[in-house]
Structure formats: C-alpha cells, structure tokens
Amino acid sequence: MVWAVFGLYFYRQLFFSDADIPYQYWIKQTVTLSLLVTAFYLNSFLLVPRFLLKNHAALYIVIIISIVAAIAFMNRWVDNVLSPYQFNDAEFYKRSQPPAMELLRHPHPPKRGTGYHFRLGDLFTIIISGLVVGISTTITAVQKWQRDNQERKELEKDKITTELSLLKAQINPHFFFNTLNNIYVLTAVDPKIAGEAIHQLSKMMRYLLYDTQKGDTMLSQEIAFVKNYISLMKLRLTDVVKINIDIPTNVKDMPLAPMIFLPFVENAFKHGVSATQQSYINIIIFQKDKVLDLTVNNSIMKDNSVSLDGYSGIGLVNTRRRLDLLYPGMYKLDISDRNATSEYTVHLVLDLS
C-alpha cells in the first residue's frame, strides 16, 4: 500500500493533468521511484541488521547520509540527461498549467549556466529520500522487536512448561509416598481396611497419571479427588480427631490446574492430627461464580509442627510456585497462625475468570 501511494504521487500527472507531458518525464519519475525502492530494501535487509542493530549507529548514519546524497545527485544527473527542457518538478508543475502550455512546446529551451546549482527539486528529493529510508528503518526495527519479543515469550512459555512439569512430577511422588506411609500403618492395625485403602489409592493414582496429562482438569474432578483423599486419610484416624468438611456437591464446572488444593489438605493431615491427643481439621471449599475459596484450618501437634515462616514441605512450596506461574495476579494466599504452637490456617482465593 505504501508503494502504491508513492507510485500514485510520482505518476499523478498521468491521472490529474491534461498537459502534453514528454516521455522523458515518465522515465525520470520511474528512475527516481526505482532509486527509492532500492534504498528502502537495501536499508531494510542489509544496513539496519548489519550496522544499526549491531551497535554501529555512527557508521550507519554516515552510510544513510551518503545514500540520500547519492539519490539526489543521480536524480539531478538523470534530469539533466533526459530532460531537453532542463526543468525540475516545481517548474514542470508550474509550466503544466494551461497558461504555460506553450512553454512545453518551445523549440529552444533556455540555456543555463554550467556547474551544479542547488534547486528546489533537490531539496524535495532529499526530503522524500530521507522519509523513505526513515520508514524503512522504523518498519525493520519494529519487526525485529516483534520477532525478539515473540521469541522471548516462547522461551518463557517453554521454561514455564518445563518448570511446571518438574513441579508436578515432584508433587505426585510426594503425595504417593505420604499416602503409602499411611497405608503401611494401617496394615498393622487392620489389614482389610489397608486393602481397601490400596484399592482407593490405585483409583487416585489413575486420575493423576492419565486424567491430568492435558495440563488442566475439571473442578468437579479435582474436588472428587480431594474428597477421596480425605476418605482415605480418615481410615487411619481415631475418634480423638475431629474432621469438619464443607465441600459443595454441585459446582459450576470449569478448567483448573490439577493438584492445587491437595497439598494444603495433605499438609493439614500431616501436621494436624494425632492418634492420642485431641485435634481437628476444618476444610471449606466455596465457589462464587468463577472465584474459588479454600480454607484449611487445623491444629498443630507438637511433634508434627510445621515452620510457618519457612512454609516448609515440598508440596506446599511447589504449589505456591505453580500458582505464581499459572495464575499470576489471580490468586491470594494467606497463611496465618493465631497461636504459633497450636493452630495453622491456609486461605486461598483463586480467580478463574
């Protein structure tokens, strides 16, 4: 479109003038336009990448000034060679008006002095050449910036994807080993319940290995997985542990990164229950439109105390990192301790809109 506009300007006399224009004028316009096209692509494909983008700005400016001067000189030379009337664009436009038509047919053009004289047409050529080169530089620089920006985004995306895969690979074995340890305890107490636990664990692992490979799972599936985990953990608990669960049965399904809720729930069971002491775990999941609200509140057993400042645990650390990568600026995670020795609370608000 840009070259179409330039061409329309250079050949405007063909469309908007009734004057008898010599063919030399069209040759001159064609040569000038060709010089501008050559300068545009020479600058775009060679000069900008090799000099300007390689931090050789001073040399680049010298070359550009030389090119503009060369175009102006060659334009004057072509004008002198092809035009028997020796007039520039401004003079031609003036002569092309009806009162001056006789000048075009004058058999003897006016004589001029020898030597180079700066004319208005030279200034016009310098301005239009500088404009063309400037447009070429701008377009090439913007395209280079866009390519670099796209490459950076792809590299960041690949890095995030790789990191998420590693984090997920760490979380899954972490959950698996902890659950196996719990089942191991059950084998000494009630082998039948331990067998049921192993069967339930196999279903959960099938979900982790196959249903979450696409990157996202559905909210209903993730909540069902959390419920199955809680049921599995309850098998080894005694009556001294109070479990309060408030999880909706019907939810508005939406895509969700898998294993987001589990580390917080798992941490509560790991550090908040005891076989002999009074303890409790409160788990509340609430949904409002596309905002999920998770609250996990549990007692802290002295032997299982967790460092709140260090936010310890592979699963917890990785979950925070996954939230940073998957939902930047879309979540709020608060960890509080009303009593640093007895209670631990996690509150996660996740906006999936």
Q: Which CATH superfamily is domain 190-351 in?
A: Histidine kinase-like ATPase, C-terminal domain (3.30.565.10)
pLDDT of 210 above 80: no
Q: Which residue has the higher pLDDT, 172 or 188?
A: 188
What is the percent of the chain where pLDDT is above 90? 18
- At residue 296 the predicted structure's pLDDT band, cuts being 50, 70 and 90, is very high
Residue among 334, 276, 335 at smallest CA distance from 302: 276
pLDDT: which is higher, 161 or 149: 149
Q: How many whole angstroms separate alpha carbon 192 and alpha carbon 197?
A: 9
Q: 3-state DSSP call for residue 88? A: coil
- Please tell me the pTM assigned to this model: 0.53
d(CA 13, CA 288): 69
Sign of CA dihedral 161, 162, 167, 171: positive
How confident is the model over 127-141, as a mean pLDDT? 90
- Identify which of 59-68, 91-100, 158-167, 332-341 has the greatest average pLDDT: 59-68
Residues of the chain with CATH 3.30.565.10: 190-351
Task: Work out the pLDDT band at 117, boundaries 50, 70, 90.
Answer: low
Taking CA atoms, 117 is separated from 48, 76, 257, 323, in Å, by: 32, 10, 75, 71
Average pLDDT over residues 186-209: 81
Q: Which two tokens stand for residue 127?
A: 């301005």
Which alpha helices (DSSP H) does the chain contain, by range?
2-10, 12-16, 23-42, 48-50, 57-82, 89-95, 101-104, 120-189, 191-206, 219-234, 262-271, 314-326
Share of the chain above pLDDT 70, in %: 75
pLDDT surpasses 70 at 124: yes
Q: What is the mean predicted confidence (pLDDT) over 315-343?
A: 80
Confidence of residue 236 (pLDDT cuts 50, 70, 90): confident
Write down the pLDDT at residue 303: 56
Rounded to 5 degrees, φ, ψ at 273 are -125, 155
Question: pLDDT tens digits for 20-70?
Answer: 777 777 788 888 888 899 999 999 999 999 898 888 889 999 999 999 999
Give residues with Cβ within 8 angstroms of 90, minimum separation 6: 120, 121, 124
